[in-house]
């Protein structure tokens, strides 16, 4: 039986981009796909665009933020696998077909992700590429790596049983990997599936481009520290824990940079490769 893929897209006033998103899914060349769009009462052109595409499974209603919208979509999904795709991002051609191949060859895994291409709004060429090594929970624990969410595919059953935490609006993916990363098998492949758009409406663009975090992100980092980091260092005060985190983070960062050399060297010698 052909594997069914559910693409889940949260949306709020993304009328400028959502049609590109829809078409990138529609043109995958794979029939057994459902595209679920959970819209939070957009006031721009989004609804008119959604009405154009009869194949979509969409709703427009108030929600508690992106995590809530995604959870609604995850729980509506009827596919064997769920592909998280934000409204301003786009799947690369044949990404679904490639995912089907990886799923067929690696049946024991619960999550499959590739590398990430970032591009700036109005400039379709890649802005930068982020490579991901084989999943390592310690990289998440020490805050060095947040593995990708948009463009990543998850086994439907597991994602339905482990929804996103509604208290997180920016770092919901980081929190999810910390909460679930020890219980699942994650396949990291050296491949490309999605283009991540950097734009004025993208709430994480300042963090991605300049490393700037806002007040809500500071709150969420503190929540992650109290939920997942501090309980593992019983008997140590916050100052000692933070010193230990800095030392360990720098150690693992050096390891990651060394391991990533092959990716960057390959990219340097293959500048004309098109994504």
List pLDDT tens digits, range 55-96: 999 999 999 999 999 999 999 999 999 999 999 999 999 999
CA distance 237 to 221: 18
**Residue reference for tokens 């595919």:** 153
pLDDT for residue 68? 98
Looking at residue 201, what is its pLDDT?
67
Indicate the domain borders of the chain: 5-269
Contact 74, 52 (CB under 8 A): no
Give the C-alpha separation, 127 to 28, whole Å.
Answer: 23
Q: Which among 89, 122, 123 is positioned nearest to 11, based on CA atoms?
A: 89
What pLDDT shows up at residue 267?
59
Which pLDDT belongs to residue 230?
Answer: 96
pLDDT of residue 273: 41
pLDDT for 78 = 98
Number of CB atoms found within 10 A of residue 141's CB: 21
What pLDDT is recorded for position 122?
A: 74
CATH number of 5-269: 3.90.550.10
The reported pLDDT for the residue numbered 275 is 35
Nearest one of 192, 205, 177, 211 to 263, comparing CA atoms: 192
Distances (CA, A) of 206 to 198, 200, 212: 9, 9, 6
Task: Give one DSSP letter per residue of 7-63, joined into a string.
Answer: EEEEESS-TTTHHHHHHHHHTSS-SSEEEEEEE----SSHHHHHHH-TT-EEEE---
Report pTM: 0.91
Low-confidence residues in the chain, pLDDT < 50:
271-275
């Amino acid at each position: 039986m052909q594997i069914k893929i559910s693409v889940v897209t949260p949306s709020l006033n993304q009328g400028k981009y959502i049609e590109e998103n829809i078409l990138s899914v529609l043109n995958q060349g794979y029939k057994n796909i459902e595209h679920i769009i959970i819209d939070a009462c957009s006031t721009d052109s989004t609804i008119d665009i959604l009405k154009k595409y009869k194949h979509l499974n969409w709703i427009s209603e108030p929600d508690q933020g992106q995590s809530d919208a995604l959870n609604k979509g995850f729980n509506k999904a009827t596919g064997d696998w769920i592909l998280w795709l934000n409204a301003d991002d786009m799947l690369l051609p044949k990404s679904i077909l490639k995912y089907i191949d990886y799923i067929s060859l690696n049946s024991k895994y619960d999550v499959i992700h590739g590398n990430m291409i970032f591009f700036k709004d109005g400039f379709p060429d890649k802005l930068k590429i982020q490579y991901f090594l084989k999943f390592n929970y310690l990289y998440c624990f020490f805050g060095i790596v947040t593995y990708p969410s948009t463009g990543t595919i998850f086994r439907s059953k597991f994602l339905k049983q482990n929804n996103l935490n509604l208290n997180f609006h920016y770092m919901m993916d980081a929190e999810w990997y910390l909460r679930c990363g020890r219980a699942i098998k994650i396949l990291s492949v050296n491949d490309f599936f999605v283009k991540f758009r950097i734009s004025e409406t993208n709430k994480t663009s300042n963090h991605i481009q300049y490393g700037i975090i806002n007040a809500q992100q500071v709150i969420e980092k503190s929540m992650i520290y109290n939920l997942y980091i501090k309980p593992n260092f019983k008997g140590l005060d916050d100052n000692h824990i933070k010193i230990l985190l800095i030392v360990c983070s720098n150690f693992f960062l050096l390891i990651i940079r060394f391991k990533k050399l092959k990716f960057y060297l390959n990219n340097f010698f293959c500048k004309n490769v098109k994504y």
